[in-house]
């Protein structure tokens, strides 16, 4: 993941940020918007930070494409903040510019609701895999692309459900329309109705909801299981009738995704059965990485090529021992975790070969391999603690990233950390 910072603060300040984030993100600094122009055109960025240059914001937004742009204002007045947000900045922050803040902003770029413009590279070219489980997925994608019915992706966190949803969109008759992605769990419940459907009746601001923004295209609803009961009723009406509000009837196809099997939630009366069966008109189960056999090697090489780009001296291949370790590991965080491990390896490698020494100890010798085997049986709580420790080690103790690897909410992880007296930040 690459972050572009546009600003002219002291070089030592930016250098410190680059060092602190080197194992997670590649940070590139441009002195001003002119110097950043070529960088913005040459590649895609996970995050663009414009440091205290409001006049340059329109030009940066135009060149940034799909990348979220965050504005840093030394004097963030109400007027300056509103101007930046209305111009198209994703968010506005006050200095100082710190590594932990950039880390959080980059993470929010993955989970915060946003309308993602079509990327230059088709999503289908980023998906690799030859395992039987993935071949089943490919066939299901083809059927979904030829249909107008709703689609439900079910799979663990980090398995690439949104990328697969993009393939359905790109291969469908709606490919010329927008692909709008919304994380239902990332929006406070009291705001979710207005975010999805637009301003409620009786308001005058005229704010467009995500259904309206997706008109003529596809609306992707991530973590659909977190939707409150009242909104489940309204969503069922909208998907069934194509009528989100009295103000219009946008033509939208809905693709939903869930980390958990919603059939169990239906049985427990935590999710409406009528909505589940409507969304699951075409259900696609996405296998976890541990069930994809030899795909790990293909995916790792693909990711390395993508992450390395054209950099001289970057890793180009994987030594057999390292590849064996990657294939043996169970990958609780799936593709997202694999990408993080490879990004770290690229940052510390000193040659064109990925070696065992470049991998975290948790990958080379996972917690399961370190457990006592003779005369001792670990309790479920002890196993859970080991798994949490492994996630914390992989993410450097970062609470939000560890929670995503574990597939649980940040607050749930925080409670478990307190119960097990484990550190987290």
Q: What are the φ and ψ backbone dihedral angles of 206, each rounded to 5 degrees?
A: 75, 25
Strand 179-183 and strand 114-115: the pairing is antiparallel
Spatial separation of the C-alpha atoms in residues 337 and 395, rounded to whole Å:
9
**50 touches 90 (CB < 8 A):** no
Spatial separation of the C-alpha atoms in residues 22 and 40, rounded to whole Å:
20
**155 touches 288 (CB < 8 A):** yes
For each successive 10 residues of the chain (425 residues), what is the average pLDDT?
82 77 80 86 81 88 83 71 76 76 67 39 62 84 90 92 92 91 84 77 57 91 91 90 56 93 90 95 94 89 80 77 92 88 85 88 68 60 81 74 79 83 68
| Residue 248, pLDDT score | 55
Spatial separation of the C-alpha atoms in residues 154 and 287, rounded to whole Å:
9
Q: What are the φ and ψ backbone dihedral angles of 283, each rounded to 5 degrees?
A: -105, 130
Q: How many residues does the chain have?
A: 425
Spatial separation of the C-alpha atoms in residues 104 and 300, rounded to whole Å:
25
Fold (CATH) for 2-112: Rossmann fold (3.40.50)
Burial class (CB in 10 A: 0-12, 13-18, 19+), 341: buried
Is the domain 123-287 a CATH 3.40.50.300 member?
A: yes
| Residue 21, pLDDT score | 80
Torsion of CA 292, 296, 302, 304, to 10 degrees: 150
Distances (CA, A) of 97 to 24, 71, 132: 17, 11, 47
Q: Which residues contact 278 (CB under 8 A, 6 or more apart)?
A: 150, 236, 239, 240
| Residue 287, pLDDT score | 93
In this chain, the answer to whether the domains covering 2-112 and 123-287 adopt an identical fold is yes
Spatial separation of the C-alpha atoms in residues 394 and 372, rounded to whole Å:
22
pTM comes to: 0.60
Spatial separation of the C-alpha atoms in residues 241 and 289, rounded to whole Å:
37
Domain boundaries, the chain: 2-112, 123-287, 308-420
Spatial separation of the C-alpha atoms in residues 339 and 160, rounded to whole Å:
12
Spatial separation of the C-alpha atoms in residues 147 and 142, rounded to whole Å:
9
Give kind and range of the element (H or E) at residue 26: strand 26-30
CB atoms within 10 A of CB 241: 9
Q: What are the φ and ψ backbone dihedral angles of 151, each rounded to 5 degrees?
A: -130, 140
Spatial separation of the C-alpha atoms in residues 55 and 376, rounded to whole Å:
65
Radius of gyration of the chain (CA): 22
**196 touches 215 (CB < 8 A):** no
| Residue 72, pLDDT score | 86
Enter the tokens of residue 275: 């909505």
Burial string for 135-170 (b: 16+ CB within 10 Å, else e) reads eebeebbeebbeeeebbbbbbbbbbbbbebbbbbbb
C-alpha triplet 105, 111, 117: angle, nearest 5°:
90
What is the distance of C-alpha 189 from the center of its chain? 20
| Residue 158, pLDDT score | 86
């Amino acid at each position: 993941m690459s972050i572009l910072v546009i600003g002219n603060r002291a070089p030592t300040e930016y250098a410190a940020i680059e060092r602190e984030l080197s194992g997670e993100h590649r940070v590139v600094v441009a002195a001003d918007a002119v110097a950043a122009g070529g960088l913005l055109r040459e590649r895609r960025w996970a995050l663009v930070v414009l440091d205290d240059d409001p006049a340059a914001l329109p030009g940066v937004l135009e060149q940034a494409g799909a990348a979220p742009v965050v504005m840093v204002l030394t004097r963030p007045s109400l007027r300056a903040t509103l101007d930046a947000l209305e111009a198209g900045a994703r968010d506005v922050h006050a200095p100082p510019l710190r590594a932990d803040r950039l880390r959080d902003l980059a993470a929010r770029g993955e989970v915060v609701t946003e309308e993602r413009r079509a990327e230059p590279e088709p999503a289908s070219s980023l998906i690799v895999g030859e395992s039987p489980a993935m071949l089943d997925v490919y066939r299901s994608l083809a059927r979904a692309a030829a249909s107008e019915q709703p689609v439900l992706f079910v799979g663990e966190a980090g398995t690439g459900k949104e990328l697969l949803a993009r393939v359905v969109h790109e291969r469908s008759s709606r490919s010329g329309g927008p692909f709008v992605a919304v994380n239902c769990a990332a929006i406070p419940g009291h705001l979710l109705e207005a975010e999805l459907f637009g301003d409620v009746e009786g308001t005058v601001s005229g704010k467009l909801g995500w259904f309206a923004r997706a008109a003529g295209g596809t609306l992707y609803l991530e973590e659909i299981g977190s939707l409150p009961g009242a909104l489940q009723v309204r969503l069922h009406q909208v998907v069934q009738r194509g009528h989100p509000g009295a103000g219009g009837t946008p033509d939208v196809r809905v693709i939903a995704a869930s980390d958990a099997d919603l059939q169990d939630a239906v049985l427990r009366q935590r999710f409406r059965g009528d909505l589940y069966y409507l969304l699951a008109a075409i259900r696609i189960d996405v296998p976890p990485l541990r069930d994809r056999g030899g795909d790990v090697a293909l995916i790792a090489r693909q990711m390395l090529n993508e992450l390395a780009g054209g950099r001289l001296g970057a890793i180009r291949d994987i030594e057999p021992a390292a590849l064996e370790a990657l294939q043996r590991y169970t990958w609780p965080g799936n593709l997202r975790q694999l990408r993080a491990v490879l990004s770290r390896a690229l940052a510390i490698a000193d040659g064109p070969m990925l070696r065992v020494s470049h991998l975290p100890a948790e990958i080379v010798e996972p917690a399961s391999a370190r457990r006592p085997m003779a005369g001792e049986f670990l309790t479920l709580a002890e196993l859970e603690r080991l798994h949490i420790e492994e996630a914390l080690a992989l993410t450097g103790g970062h609470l939000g990233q560890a929670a995503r690897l574990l597939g649980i909410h940040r607050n749930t992880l925080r409670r478990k950390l307190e119960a097990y007296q484990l550190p987290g930040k």
